[in-house]
Amino acid sequence: MILINCPNCGPRNSAEFAYFGETKPRPDANETDLAEWSHYLYMKRNPAGWTSEHWYHREGCRKFLVAERHTVTNEIRSTGTPGAGHGG
């Protein structure tokens, strides 16, 4: 079990959340080319270490959050609201 500190609801079991994967900047659809867009769409960093990712609190406040999680130990060192300096 991972304990996720939801910015709205407080610490909750990760089973209440849906995992949405690593955060990454979305290219501007009007400026981008095919290579950059398909890279954004499909390729993953998939690091073994600290990563920033989106979770959705589907059985709670039904809002997205951004978590800094270590993918080897599953430790979460911070959570925050998307767009508030915590990634896109």
Applying CB under 8 A, what is the total number of residues that bind another protein?
Answer: 26
Among 3, 8, 11, 18, binds another protein (CB under 8 A): 18
Q: To the nearest 10°, the Cα dihedral for 38, 85, 80, 50?
A: 60
Question: In this structure, are residues 56 and 11 in contact, taking their beta carbons and an 8 Å threshold?
Answer: no
Question: Degrees (nearest 5) of the Cα angle 55, 58, 62?
Answer: 90
24-33 LR contacts (CB < 8 Å, sep 24+): 24/88, 25/88, 26/88
Residue 56 Cβ, how far from another protein at the closest point, in Å? 12
Letters for 67-86 (x = contact with another protein by CB under 8 A, - = none) are: ----xxxx------------
Among 29, 30, 31, 34, binds another protein (CB under 8 A): 34
User: What residues make contact with another protein under the rule CB under 8 A?
Assistant: 1-2, 14-15, 18-19, 21-22, 34-35, 38-39, 41-48, 51, 53, 71-74
